[in-house]
Structure 1
Amino acid sequence: MTDYDVLRVFCAPNGGYGNELGVVREGSVMPDRDERQAFAAKLGFSETVFVDDPERGVIDIYTPSARLAFAGYPCVGAAWLLDVPELVTPAGVVGTRLDGEFSWIEARAEWAAPRTFRQYGTAAEVDDLAVPAPGAWIYAWAWEDEAAGRIRARGFPGRGDGVEEDEATGAAALQLTAELGRALNIVQGAGSQILTAPQPGGWVEVGGRVFLER
């Protein structure tokens, strides 16, 4: 069995929740894309990262069913784990920084895969949603406190690959921040926390707490 780490990304202030991320630190042990895809499917995390160059921050990201050019929470987790100034993804170079308890990335909304955003009137409506049938990638959200930029959200990948709900989705948070044009404090899933801030030139920062689970 290939060695891998498991991180929890976008954890709550008490260290709970967060989205589990598989990280294969020695990507060279599994260079073939089909083999990587099969391994990601076997692990079953929302995403798995293969590190191809730890010094330069070159990474390769997979869901259980597809390879991604960019994804938010894998980049936040990899930034924390590798502690490098940038990550190199097929979509582009992602800026990174560590700031106290938070790991941050800077990326562009157009790098993320398309999603269907559905705004609801209250956080309770989002809480009560049932998992939809496989189909579009749906990001359901509502304001908890619009003045303060606080949002309640849930993410439904709709891929039919066993991941019915995504506990924390950095790419969707990035896209929503770009659309709204303001900093956000998002609670997604069971209790994960995602922070965002728009930057000049169409860039967006996304940050959160990361813990090594095993």
Structure 2
Amino acid sequence: MSSTIAVDVVRVFTNEAGEHGNELGIVRSDASTSGREQAIAAELGFSETVFVDELGRRLSPDDGGSERTAVIRIFTPVAELPFAGHPSVGTAWWLAHEGSPVDVLLERAGDVRVRYDADRTWITGRASWAPHFEWMPLADPAQVDALDPAAVTAGHHYAYAWIDEEAGALRSRMFAPELGIAEDEATGAAAVRITTVLGRDLEILQGRGSRLSTRLGAGESVEVGGRTVADQRIEL
């Protein structure tokens, strides 16, 4: 590439010790990135890369006050997404970490509300914004662990089993080869959908050890939240 582009990398949905989590590349959009977003995301190779286009303020539709906004675009290595959970949570956390917390992320799917709560960042999504998944309910977590990503060659597949059904604890893995993602370490959009499917709040253990929490809301809205940590800064 002809110019240097700074990329902040964070890990989203870590455990309490800051381990695991899904890597996310975050780029501030400017003239050097305009029209090159897909190529940059492909070169980075993360499951998603976010481009932060604009920070601003607008009147709140609830109380007429002011709310802080950011316009973002989300790319996998092969396609742009209208909405995704781990990029939304990670970008909201990163903006606050950089001194610019927001109330709403303006994404192509719609307005994604943000809530900060101690060491967790929460966003509210809608099931209809997420891709359609092939659900793979299995008998126990060991069967989820034994799956081979290479055996999945198309579509979006979400495998899950109860760790503790009474407590809402779920073990999961997600495979999306058509998006250039052999296996996603932590998938917020899938967490939104599976929460709607199962009709209850969940505590999800995904991938190698990532942790996602969900809260079922009104209609098709679901909050998904977790911890994010800074990982590294790289340049292209």
TM-score (norm 1): 0.95
Q: CA RMSD in A?
A: 1.1
2:141 counterpart residue number: 123
Match of 1:164 among 161, 166, 182: 182
Separation of aligned partners in 2, 1:153 and 1:180: 14
1:30 counterpart residue number: 33
Contact 1:153-1:186 within 8 A present in 2 as well: yes
1:70 counterpart residue number: 83
Give per-residue Cα distances to partners, 1:115-163, cap 9 Å, x unaligned.
Answer: 11110000000001111232011110000000000000001112273x3
Distance 1:126 1:203, change over 3 A: same
1:43 counterpart residue number: 44
Pairing of 1:63-212 with structure 2 (within 5 A): 63-82=76-95, 83-131=101-149, 132-159=151-178, 161=180, 163-212=181-230
Q: Which runs of 4+ in 1 moved over 3 A?
A: 26-29
Contact 1:139-1:154 within 8 A present in 2 as well: yes
Contact 1:186-1:195 within 8 A present in 2 as well: yes
- Offset at 1:54? 2.8
Q: Secondary structure at the match of 1:24?
A: strand
Separation of aligned partners in 2, 1:187 and 1:165: 14
**Percent sequence identity over aligned pairs:** 46
Match of 1:5 among 5, 8, 15: 8
Q: Does 1:58 align with 2:74?
A: no
Which runs of 5 or more structure 2 residues have no equivalent in the other structure? 57-68, 96-100
Contact 2:162-2:170 within 8 A present in 1 as well: yes
Which runs of 5 or more structure 1 residues have no equivalent in the other structure? none
Separation of aligned partners in 1, 2:39 and 2:49: 11
Contact 2:90-2:228 within 8 A present in 1 as well: yes
Contact 1:28-1:52 within 8 A present in 2 as well: no
- Offset at 1:64? 0.1
Q: Secondary structure at the match of 2:196?
A: helix
Separation of aligned partners in 1, 2:112 and 2:37: 22
Q: Does 1:19 align with 2:43?
A: no
Larger mean CA deviation between 50-59 and 142-151 belongs to: 50-59
Q: Secondary structure at the match of 1:165?
A: strand
Separation of aligned partners in 1, 2:112 and 2:106: 6
Larger mean CA deviation between 20-29 and 51-60 belongs to: 20-29
Q: Secondary structure at the match of 1:54?
A: strand
Count matched residues. 211
Larger Rg: 2
